[in-house]
Amino acid sequence: METTIMRRLAILKAALVTACLASPAPGQGMPENIRQQIDRHLIGRWSGHVDFDGKTTSERYTYKWANAQKKNSLLFSLTTEGYTETKIGFWDAEKKHFVVQSHTSRGDHWVTHYDKFEDDKWSGHGSGIFDEMVWDSDATLSWPDANSLHYEDLTDGKPWVSKAKRVAKGQPARNIDEKKILGEVEAAHRQWDAAFDAHDAVALAKLYDVKTDVYEDDVHHRGRKAMRKQFAELFDKQSKIQQTTTMVERKVLSRRIVIETGVWNNVGDSDPSRPTRGRYSCTWMKKKGKWLIVHDRSWGVPAKK
């Protein structure tokens, strides 16, 4: 069934593109300011996310002219979780609308007519079928700045909000849900804090990769077993030690790798030779659905006076 739908979409897209290329009237009456807005604010590759019904989904898409010389019709292709989407947009000279016809790989179809054109947004109305639901809603396409693109409507009575950033030329498009990834790493970080304060060396060690590589100042620990031993010895010697982390920052490098930096502070430490404050930099990697520390570097710093 899905193969049949994909084949039909491909045939439809090819037919529409052929019609656009064969058009004898470049622009088909499209106002020059509309064409300039498309060039300036739509053409290019985009990466972002959709917030709908309490769920955030990542997406990536591309806008391009069907014919770069005539610039009379706009093509759109999107990839997201569960389906792909194809659109073609063109100027309706009679109604003075910009019309967007949309189809997805799962059989959805709808049409949006934009009839209000401002410097920073287009507004209009759309209707059709989406996710087996009748869709009929006002719609707004806006660009807060040169590298941002937003779309909003109501789907099944709920706000559908899409926000994307332009992907720079030469930069690979990333279909990454950073909000979700950072939330998962934050949860793993909290597990680490809770296990440390509970003096649970076993639980702490499970948050490190089997082949983790850790340096505490100049002391090297390699592997999960070494970390379990190190924590067990620490808690045996320092029965009241507790730790907090502050100034935590994270950088998402990919769906599976996050860099984290921060400051650690210990209290209840009775060993005067150990620093009570320091900095760290660690690498989290997602393996088999679980975030683990694969590299960790920490060092003591003088306590603030």
pLDDT band at 172 (very low <50, low <70, confident <90, very high): low
69 lies in the same domain as 197:
no
Quote the pLDDT of residue 170: 65
Quote the pLDDT of residue 221: 93
Average pLDDT over residues 182-192: 96
6 lies in the same domain as 137:
yes
Of 120, 137, 166, at which residue does a domain stop?
A: 166
> Does residue 90 carry a pLDDT above 60?
yes
Q: b vs e for 260-281, b when ≥16 Cβ sit within 10 Å of the residue's Cβ?
A: bebebebeebeeeebbbebebe
Residue 235: burial class (beta carbons within 10 Å; 0-12, 13-18, 19+): middle
Quote the pLDDT of residue 3: 44
Average pLDDT over residues 286-300: 91
User: 254 in a domain, yes or no?
Assistant: yes
Q: Measuring CA to CA, which residue among 135, 92, 146, 140 is closest to residue 117?
A: 140
* pLDDT over 70 percentage in the chain: 88
User: 250 in a domain, yes or no?
Assistant: yes
129 lies in the same domain as 65:
yes
Quote the pLDDT of residue 148: 97
> Could you please report the per-residue DSSP string of 1-44?
-HHHHHHHHHHHHHHHHHHHHH-SSGGGG--HHHHHHIIIIISE
Per-residue model confidence as pLDDT tens digits over 95-119: 999 999 999 988 899 999 999 999 9
Q: Measuring CA to CA, which residue among 226, 228, 217, 225 is closest to residue 274?
A: 217
233: containing domain: 178-300
Of 138, 166, 194, at which residue does a domain stop?
A: 166
185 lies in the same domain as 265:
yes
pLDDT band at 265 (very low <50, low <70, confident <90, very high): very high
Quote the pLDDT of residue 175: 60
pLDDT band at 76 (very low <50, low <70, confident <90, very high): very high
User: 305 in a domain, yes or no?
Assistant: no
76 lies in the same domain as 208:
no
Quote the pLDDT of residue 5: 41
Looking at the structure of the chain, the number of domains it has is: 2
* pLDDT over 90 percentage in the chain: 63
Quote the pLDDT of residue 12: 43
Instruction: Report, in angstroms and rounded to the nearest whole number, the Rg of the chain calculated over CA atoms.
Output: 27
289 lies in the same domain as 159:
no
Per-residue model confidence as pLDDT tens digits over 43-72: 999 999 999 999 988 899 999 998 888 898
140 lies in the same domain as 194:
no
> Does residue 79 carry a pLDDT above 90?
no
User: 171 in a domain, yes or no?
Assistant: no
The partner residues of 176 in beta bridges, in order of sequence, read none
User: 172 in a domain, yes or no?
Assistant: no
278 lies in the same domain as 187:
yes
| CA–CA separation, 293 and 175 (whole Å) | 23
113 lies in the same domain as 185:
no
User: 173 in a domain, yes or no?
Assistant: no
Q: How far is CA 120 from the centre of its chain?
A: 24
Per-residue model confidence as pLDDT tens digits over 201-243: 999 999 999 999 999 888 899 999 999 999 999 999 989 999 9
9 lies in the same domain as 151:
yes
pLDDT band at 29 (very low <50, low <70, confident <90, very high): confident
User: 118 in a domain, yes or no?
Assistant: yes
* Contact (CB, 8 A) for 102 and 87: yes
Of 166, 188, 223, at which residue does a domain stop?
A: 166
Q: The CATH number of the domain where 134 resides is what?
A: 2.40.128.20
162 lies in the same domain as 235:
no
76 lies in the same domain as 30:
yes
Q: The CATH number of the domain where 289 resides is what?
A: 3.10.450.50
> pTM score > 0.75 for this model?
no
User: 125 in a domain, yes or no?
Assistant: yes
Quote the pLDDT of residue 4: 44
The vertex-256 CA angle with 254 and 262, nearest 5°, equals 85
Report the chain's mean pLDDT, rounded to a whole number: 86
